[in-house]
Amino acid sequence: MSTKKPVEVDVKKAVGFKYPSDKVLYNRRDLLLYAAGLNLTELRFTYELEKNFSAFPTYPIVLPLKGDTLDVSSYAERAGFGNIPGLPKIDLNRLVHGEQYYELLAPLPEAGRFDLESTLTGVYDAGKGMILDKETVMKDASGKALAKMVSSAFVIGAGGFNGPRKPKPENIVDVPSRQPDSVEEIKTTPNQALIYRLSGDYNPLHADPRIGKKLGMKGAILHGLCFYGISAAAVLQSFANNEPSAFKSIYGRFASPVYPGETLQVNMWKVAEKDGKVYIAFVTKVKERDVVVISNGTVVLHSGAQSKL
């Protein structure tokens, strides 16, 4: 009886690997497309002539896949982890987006060209797979950091190399054992993924139902970062009256797929307020199926923002 050979991984060689700097750009039209992809209705995010028109705070999470093109980008070329010392070649077909952290470091301009500087910050053994943490910092022309994002990918079948286990993320709050302080329901549209993908994520899984069916799903699924952004919008509306300057960070773990047309239910709890920050726990579900799609959700707001509670 043969046994599967463990994946060869050199964690010390891989962690700290720096990717080539990546050039990206966006304009107000891109901000409007992103807002439409999240089903936003607040004029401050959806109408360029509105007083105090602003980028929705989570917009930069689309830039690593968008790049600096005005045309359709190649998902296969931009989504890969590249040739990383100490790691085997990553098969995109076995790569799943597991967790996402995003932090806004400074107000976002309405348009411009920027640099993305990325580092592989973690390689973890999850038994049935390998977890890769990639940190990306967005900087303007002067070198000022505007946003930080950590994308955590799960590589199916690549575990068992006796590597370290991933620690619990910092600044994550647990859901209280009481009813939510606020609940928002957002009905997605049948073409939600087709609109959201125009922001730069052209993964065929979100457009071609035949691919989803081959993978055992009902068809094309909604982008995880789409309902991640929708969840952020629900928290900002419920606890900060849609004030973008109140937003600091968001973390979430993707637990299950969402199909376009389903209703998202974002359950939110104000857990703590300390050191000038307000901590909001959230869980996002699909209402029709009562299935959790984002777990361990935490949004941090700057205190002083007006609350509806």
Q: Is 173 contained in some domain?
A: no
Catalytic annotation, pick one of 84, 90, 186, 221: 221
140 a catalytic residue: no
Residue 135 and residue 18 in one domain? yes
Q: What pLDDT, on the 0 to 100 scale, is given for residue 82?
A: 74
The CATH number that applies at residue 210 is: 3.10.129.10
- Stated as kind and residue range, the H or E segment containing 273 is strand 263-274
Catalytic annotation, pick one of 201, 223, 250, 280: 201
**DSSP assignment letter at 248:** E
Q: Name the residue range of residue 94's domain.
A: 11-156
pLDDT in tens, 160-175: 999 999 998 887 999 9
Residue 108 and residue 212 in one domain? no
Q: Is 175 contained in some domain?
A: no
Catalytic annotation, pick one of 129, 159, 163, 224: 224
Residue 209 and residue 82 in one domain? no
Q: Is 219 contained in some domain?
A: yes
133 a catalytic residue: no
From first to last of the 309 residues of the chain, give the pLDDT tens digit. Answer: 445 566 789 999 999 999 999 999 999 999 999 999 999 999 999 999 999 999 999 999 999 999 999 899 888 888 877 789 999 888 887 889 999 999 999 999 999 999 999 999 999 999 999 999 999 999 999 999 999 999 999 999 999 999 999 998 887 999 999 999 999 999 999 999 999 999 999 999 999 999 999 988 999 999 999 999 999 999 999 999 999 999 999 999 999 999 999 999 999 999 999 999 999 999 999 999 999 999 999 999 999 755 444
Residue 32 and residue 91 in one domain? yes
pLDDT in tens, 8-46: 899 999 999 999 999 999 999 999 999 999 999 999 999
Q: Which residues contact 299 (CB under 8 A, 6 or more apart)?
A: 232, 235, 236, 247, 249, 250, 279, 280, 282
Residue 79 and residue 36 in one domain? yes
Question: How many independent structural domains does the chain possess?
Answer: 2
pLDDT in tens, 223-255: 999 999 999 999 999 999 999 999 999 999 999
Catalytic annotation, pick one of 30, 90, 206, 212: 206
Q: What pLDDT, on the 0 to 100 scale, is given for residue 6?
A: 64
Give the number of other Cβ atoms within 10 Å of residue 42's Cβ.
Answer: 17
229 a catalytic residue: no
Residue 17 and residue 151 in one domain? yes
Q: What pLDDT, on the 0 to 100 scale, is given for residue 1?
A: 43
Residue 145 and residue 197 in one domain? no
3-class secondary-structure state, position 137: strand
201 a catalytic residue: yes
Q: Is 147 contained in some domain?
A: yes
Q: Are 124 and 159 within 8 A, CB to CB?
A: no
Give the number of other Cβ atoms within 10 Å of residue 283's Cβ.
Answer: 20
